[in-house]
Amino acid sequence: MKRIAVMSSHRGTNLQAIIDGAKRRLFAGTVELVISNNKSSYALVRAREAGIPTLWISRKFSSSQEEFEHKIIDALSSHDIDIVCLAGFMRVLSASFIARYRGRMLNIHPALLPSFPGMDAQRQALCHGVKISGCTVHFVDEGVDTGPIILQRAVPVLDDDTVESLSERILAEEHVAYIEALKLVCEDRLCIRGNRVFTRCPEPTGGTSID
Ligand code: GRF
């Protein structure tokens, strides 16, 4: 079983989906730690209700980005975490932090990347007039929402969609997508070649391999 940490800044519905998925054994992992940079994040409440250790690590109460990240690394190490799931974590992480967890850190984004990276993805999709949007689970790299894509789920954009209605429909798919991605990652079924993620590795590997 993989030991998973989830990092979330606000309401934590993806965290909840991951907690529920772990409880139902939909993937071979357990949620061992929830970290938030926001003391009043509802994600922390969800974790406490599920009996999962929580940590509030604030950038504001750290003297530098380096110190902030050191606190996170210490927490992840002391809980022996294998996989880090970003789920609405609203803080940028440095290249050295990302390098440490390369191939082991996932993120979810509410658009079909590489379209509409960054903030307000659902609004960007509506403004652009696309007919299909969706969500993407990807490994994290140094860019903003640029890492190797694990999987995507599509959602039609309807004529009467608002940012709220589209976001809600995408969010329901996010909850499914994160579980599907974790199933693949926890079973070491993925390998990364350049920017592509394969479920059938070209050669046998002992885990997620990276060129
Ligand atoms: C989700 O839309 C996710 O794709 C984005 O931030 C939002 C987090 O929502 N990265 P929640 O906190 O999991 O409900």
For ligand 1, atom 8, name the residue with the nearest CA: 88
What's the domain range around 160?
A: 108-211
Residues 145 and 177 in one domain: yes
Q: Which of 63, 81, 101 is the last residue of a domain?
A: 101
- State which residues of the chain have pLDDT below 70: 202-211
Give the number of C-alpha atoms closer than 13 A to the C-alpha of residue 58, restricted to the C-beta side: 6
Residues 85 and 178 in one domain: no
Atom of ligand 1 nearest to the CA of 170: 2
Residues 136 and 194 in one domain: yes
Q: Is 41 in the pocket of ligand 1 (CB under 6 A)?
A: no
Q: Is 134 in the pocket of ligand 1 (CB under 6 A)?
A: no
Residues 64 and 117 in one domain: no
Catalytic residues: 109
pLDDT at 101: 97
Residues 96 and 115 in one domain: no
pLDDT in tens, 22-64: 999 999 999 999 999 999 999 999 999 999 999 999 999 999 9
pLDDT at 62: 95
Q: Tell me the whole-structure pTM to 2 decimals.
A: 0.94
Residues 97 and 138 in one domain: no
pLDDT at 208: 62
pLDDT at 201: 72
Q: CA-to-CA distance for 152 and 156, rounded, in angstroms? A: 13
Work out how many domains the chain is built from and give that number: 2
Q: Which of 101, 130, 159 is the last residue of a domain?
A: 101
- Testing ligand 1's pocket by substitution, the residue of 8, 11, 13, 14 carrying the most ligand atoms inside 8 A of its CB is 14
Residues 82 and 112 in one domain: no
Residues 12 and 79 in one domain: yes
Alpha helices in 79-199 (DSSP H): 95-100, 121-128, 163-186
Q: Is 110 in the pocket of ligand 1 (CB under 6 A)?
A: yes
Residues 93 and 123 in one domain: no
For ligand 1, atom 12, name the residue with the nearest CA: 12
Ligand 1 centroid to Cα of residue 205, in Å, is 32
Q: Which of 74, 101, 128 is the last residue of a domain?
A: 101
